[in-house]
């Protein structure tokens, strides 16, 4: 009953480069994706900029391919994401819309995308990263067109619209740095209670799980997931990777060993919580990870190396399942 998932690489930073999209071009990639995982998350292919690149013009080509693949292989799909401050198309970010027009765009987008995949996408990250890393955390009103204009109310709307479009889908809030108990996960804990009190259809809390060896792994992940579980929510690790600072572009054996321990600890925390039944790694091969593109000098965050050789982290996960 447990879902081990992977992000499916493509789009995003690949869009602006000549980098291959392995899902489309690399048979070995597809074999591993089909064999090792029973859940997939399109890494970029359901984000606004990919799905609605021009106003009112939807492009589902890449998302359709992934979802058909998942159907063929009996895999669940996590949909990512509907309301976020990042990877929005330029027309949306730069457009001069009235409040009503902007709100209508979000509603139409959610109805169209969630409705298209009703019955096929099992869980949706409806709202992603609504709080920043401040102490206390603030709503990202400076960065998000949605939160700037409408405040937290738009989050409740997004959940309601998603629920209208697919009453069966499990609807999640999702963020990073919320694995353990801290000011940011506290903010979500409060927000979830507010949403539930208002009868907003929210069903899950996702901790992304982007960790870095130069920081600490929180020791209270289980307790944190448990408190959301106690509110009646499903929980999930949605984007796990464990990056590291690389000397001469190569990880040391010690780094790779510690990485495996961290993967195992995160999985253990999830396995210990009843309603945590989904653990997704943000890709499987270091060859396609977003990390080297986004964190200078860091890399090697995933469970297989660039040649698809299984790393200790792979065996750490497999041996627990």
Applying CB under 6 A, does 13 fall inside the site for ligand XIL?
A: yes
Catalytic residue check, 49: no
Applying CB under 6 A, does 44 fall inside the site for ligand XIL?
A: yes
Min dist. Cβ of residue 27 to ligand XIL (A)? 22
Q: What character string, x for contact with ligand XIL (CB under 6 A) and - otherwise, covers 234-273?
A: -----x----------------------------------
Applying CB under 6 A, does 298 fall inside the site for ligand XIL?
A: no
Q: Name which position in 3, 208, 259, 287 contacts ligand XIL (CB under 6 A).
A: 208
Q: Name which position in 39, 75, 123, 128 contacts ligand XIL (CB under 6 A).
A: 128
**Largest interatomic CA distance in the chain:** 56
Question: Is residue 149 packed enough to be buried (19+ CB in 10 Å), middle (13-18) or exposed (0-12)?
Answer: middle
Asked whether 115 and 166 are in contact (CB, 8 A), the reply is yes
- The DSSP bridge pattern shows strands 276-281 and 210-212 to be unpaired
Applying CB under 6 A, does 43 fall inside the site for ligand XIL?
A: yes
Min dist. Cβ of residue 290 to ligand XIL (A)? 3
Min dist. Cβ of residue 245 to ligand XIL (A)? 19
In the bound state with ligand XIL, the residue whose beta carbon lies nearer, of 180 and 301, is 301
Report d(CA 170, CA 177) in Å as an integer: 22
Q: Which is catalytic among the residues 49, 129, 170, 222?
A: 129
Min dist. Cβ of residue 283 to ligand XIL (A)? 7
Applying CB under 6 A, does 122 fall inside the site for ligand XIL?
A: no
Applying CB under 6 A, does 290 fall inside the site for ligand XIL?
A: yes
Q: Which residues contact 260 (CB under 8 A, 6 or more apart)?
A: 311, 312, 313, 315, 316
Catalytic residue check, 90: no
> How many residues touch ligand XIL (CB under 6 A)?
8
Contact set with ligand XIL (CB under 6 A): 12-13, 43-44, 128, 208, 239, 290
Instruction: Provide the annotated active-site residues.
Output: 129, 239
């Amino acid at each position: 009953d447990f879902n081990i998932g992977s992000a499916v690489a493509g789009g995003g930073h690949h869009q602006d480069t000549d980098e291959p999209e392995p899902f489309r071009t690399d048979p070995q990639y597809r074999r591993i994706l089909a064999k090792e995982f029973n859940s997939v998350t399109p890494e970029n292919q359901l984000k606004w900029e990919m799905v609605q690149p021009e106003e009112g013009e939807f492009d589902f080509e890449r998302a359709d391919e992934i979802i058909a693949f998942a159907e063929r292989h009996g895999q669940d799909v996590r949909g990512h994401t509907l309301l976020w401050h990042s990877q929005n198309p330029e027309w949306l970010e730069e457009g001069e819309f009235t409040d009503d027009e902007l709100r209508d765009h979000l509603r139409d987008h959610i109805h169209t995308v969630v409705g298209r995949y009703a019955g096929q996408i099992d869980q949706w990250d409806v709202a992603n990263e609504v709080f920043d890393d401040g102490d206390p955390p603030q709503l990202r009103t400076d960065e998000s067109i949605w939160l700037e204009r409408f405040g937290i109310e738009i989050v409740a709307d997004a959940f309601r619209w998603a629920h209208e479009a697919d009453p069966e889908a499990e609807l999640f809030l999702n963020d990073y740095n919320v694995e353990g108990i801290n000011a940011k996960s506290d903010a979500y804990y409060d927000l979830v209670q507010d949403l539930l009190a208002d009868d907003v259809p929210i069903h899950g809390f996702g901790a992304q799980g982007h960790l870095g060896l130069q920081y600490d792994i929180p020791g209270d992940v289980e307790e944190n997931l448990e408190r959301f579980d106690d509110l009646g929510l499903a929980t999930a690790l949605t984007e796990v990777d464990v990056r590291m600072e690389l000397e001469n572009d190569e990880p040391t054996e010690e780094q790779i060993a510690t990485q495996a321990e961290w993967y195992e600890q995160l999985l253990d925390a999830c396995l210990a919580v009843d309603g945590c039944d989904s653990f997704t790694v943000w890709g499987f091969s270091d060859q396609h990870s977003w990390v080297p593109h986004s964190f200078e000098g860091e890399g090697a965050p995933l469970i297989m190396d660039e040649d698809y050789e299984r790393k200790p982290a792979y065996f750490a996960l497999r041996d627990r399942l």
